[in-house]
Amino acid sequence: MALPPLDATPGGPSSNSFVTVARAIDLQTGRTGAATFAALPQADQEALLMRATQDISLTVHWYGAPVDPLQALPLPMLGQVDGMGRLLPTDIIPPLVEQATALYALVLMSSGGDVTISSAAIEHLRKGDTEVWYHGSVQTAIGGGTLPLEIWTYLRPYGQVPQRGRQAPVFRG
């Protein structure tokens, strides 16, 4: 099954990524695996970014309310603030969420798995001779259902993120 093209339009009805391939490559500069990601075929880059977006979307309990009830992704949201407490524009994905998505795509890539995504949910992950099939909604196959600490740290200002199998309260101050 062919994947839909990557759509990183903030608030779009068919959006499936928080970040474009070009922006992700820029945000990954200097990171381990960045050159490998940049050399992947575009379809693989898009699949990793869509998977990262999906995992993050399903894991974070976002603050605020979606800007448009028809938007495909939970962001952008009304009522989101930056680290200084200033309201974020409602027509952008917060830069730290873009960063988290780009870096989580590197984590997924380095896991060594082949990722298959459908328009509804991830269907298949393969690493060597081991295959895992997902049915229904999934969170993440990395870190036992939690996001890596660095990714979690980027997302903290925008919602509550379960950490180490439990709900970790997150406070904005």
Report residue 112's pLDDT band, with 50, 70 and 90 as the boundaries.
low
Report residue 137's pLDDT band, with 50, 70 and 90 as the boundaries.
very low
| Domain containing residue 55 | 21-167
Residue 107 lies in a domain: yes
Q: In the block, which residue shows the tokens 């970040």? A: 19
Domain count across the chain: 1
Residue 15 lies in a domain: no
How far is the CA of 82 from the CAs of 62, 63, 153, 155, in angstroms?
14, 12, 14, 11
Residue 8 lies in a domain: no
Mean pLDDT value of segment 58-86? 90
Report residue 117's pLDDT band, with 50, 70 and 90 as the boundaries.
very low
Residue 91 lies in a domain: yes
Residue 16 lies in a domain: no
Residue 4 lies in a domain: no
- Rounded CA-CA distance 129/9 in Å is 37
pTM (predicted TM-score): 0.76
